[in-house]
Amino acid sequence: MFFKSHSCNSAAKPDKKVKKYWWVKKFQQEDYDFLFSQPYTVTIPSYNVVVVHAGIVPGVSLEQQLPNDMIRMRGVIRNSDGSYSGTDAKDVVPWAACWPGPQHVYFGHNASRGLQQHPFATGLDTGCVYGRSLTGALISSPNQKPILYTVQAKEVYCKPDI
């Protein structure tokens, strides 16, 4: 198998934060069912890569990650025992700066920080939806550095919350 995915069984009901977007209000139940059936992570073992929407808490196995962290997290807070907790706050340490590897994680959901390049994590959200740019990574070989491609957005699709 080329890739593995990690899913969590959860009820297909959006929370209030998600419903604030105009386009979500147009969803039918089948749209929710489809989205909630998708995996939280995709792992590509032959490339030693994990792909996630928002983040992965360092020191926590993929099977133990909280769905909320994987879809909303932007940073981490260090607990008194040395472990980390994920948070969607913007004014904290980026989780990717603390990710120890060895798997390289590609993620988005953090347009305010722009392109993030850490030793074992790359944040590709460069704000396309806000009219900035779209960035992707081409991973052509397990032993080569990926090539990053960036193109300018054609328009502002959504104004950022300030």
List the Cα angle 118/86/11 in 5-degree steps. Answer: 120
Looking at residue 41, its amino acid is: T
For residues 24 and 32, give the distance between their C-alpha atoms in angstroms, rounded to a whole number.
9
Position 17 confidence tier, pLDDT thresholds 50, 70, 90? low
Handedness of CA 6, 68, 115, 82 (dihedral sign): negative
Residue 41 has pLDDT above 50, yes or no: yes
Position 161 confidence tier, pLDDT thresholds 50, 70, 90? confident
Annotated domain spans of the chain: 4-126
Q: What are the tens digits of pLDDT across the range 46-70?
A: 999 999 999 999 999 999 999 999 9
Q: 3.30.429.10, 3.60.21.10, 3.40.950.10, 3.20.20.210: which CATH number matches 4-126?
A: 3.60.21.10
